[in-house]
Amino acid sequence: MNVKQYLDATYLKTASQAGLSEAENLVVVKEAIAEAIAESFKLIMIRPEYVALAKELITKANSTLLIGTVIDFPEGKSNLETKIKEANEAIENGADDLDFVCNYEAFKNGDTTLVKEEILIGTQIGLAHNKTVKWIIEVAALSDKEIIQLSALIKNVVMSNFKEENYSAVFVKSSTGFFKTKDNLPNGATIPAIIMMLENASPLPVKAAGGVRSYDEAIEMIRLGVKRIGTSAAKAIANGENTSNQY
């Protein structure tokens, strides 16, 4: 099994979050892109402000590495107009994958109309430009029942409004990796959460993001049925090493 083709190498920290200057953080971003190119990973997942840079470096290297970025990250609370603006800018800058943070707080508060609309419009924008769309549901913020319901809601919106040939390009994704949990509980993908997502999002694919820290854990996720894995330790995982990285 070529685990590298499941790995979305990820670096989503701002300079302040990383404790670096803007110039230092830019160096880290460039190193992450270069590593993803050299290791032949599926995709590099970076913040929107670095997408154009990634496109330039990937083109220069004649690489097939895909570029993913996040929309309305990490809380997903912005209005639909903001999500649309960010998505269109990412497309213009050369992004291949658009990872929207679903407004899970609105969902938890019962505003399913708002959530359905953003899923519909965001997915329409992505598919109209031949992009892959992922909806981050933030499993650590949800109860088991809510994970099941939100996964099913996304599936139902997609199946009701798009052709079957598009289903494989619309993912349900577990986590941002930035949600703060109480008592140091997991804030990313767990086996129970992923199983619930797989059972209720199908036929849409699932991406496990956050908490996959070893080759064995990655293989376990793949065997469960996930199609993509987001991790900031892609190289270590591909080399069969364990890592203490939180995402």
**Catalytic residue, candidates 83, 155, 173, 235:** 173
pLDDT at 92 over 70: yes
**Catalytic residue, candidates 83, 131, 134, 207:** 207
Strand 43-46 to strand 228-231: parallel, antiparallel, or no bridges (unpaired)? unpaired
Q: Tell me the DSSP string of 3-25.
A: GGGGEEEEE---HHHHT--HHHH
Q: What predicted TM-score, i.e. pTM, was given to this entire model?
A: 0.96
| Mean pLDDT, residues 103-118 | 98
Residue 13's region, left for phi above 0, alpha for psi from -120 to 50, else beta, is: beta
Q: What is the mean pLDDT of the chain?
A: 95
13 tagged catalytic: no
**Catalytic residue, candidates 83, 99, 134, 155:** 99
Cβ within 8 Å of residue 126, ≥6 positions away? 87, 91, 98, 132, 133, 169, 170
235 tagged catalytic: no
pLDDT at 243 over 80: no
pLDDT at 136 over 70: yes
1-25 residue pLDDT tens: 789 999 999 999 999 999 999 999 9
pLDDT at 134 over 90: yes
47-63 residue pLDDT tens: 999 999 999 999 999 99
| Mean pLDDT, residues 218-247 | 90
Residue 96: pLDDT band with limits 50, 70, 90 = very high
In the chain, what percentage of residues exceed pLDDT 70? 98
pLDDT at 234 over 90: yes
Give the pLDDT confidence score for residue 180 in this predicted structure.
86
| Strand residue runs (E) in the chain | 7-11, 43-46, 66-71, 97-101, 132-136, 170-173, 206-209, 228-231
In single-letter form, the type of residue at position 6 comes to Y
pLDDT at 183 over 90: no
Give the pLDDT confidence score for residue 48 in this predicted structure.
98
Nearest-angstrom CA–CA distance, 247 and 243: 10
Give the pLDDT confidence score for residue 140 in this predicted structure.
95
99 tagged catalytic: yes
184-201 residue pLDDT tens: 777 889 999 999 999 999
| Mean pLDDT, residues 203-226 | 95
Give the pLDDT confidence score for residue 246 in this predicted structure.
62
Residues 79/21, Cβ–Cβ less than 8 Å:
no
Strand 7-11 to strand 43-46: parallel, antiparallel, or no bridges (unpaired)? parallel
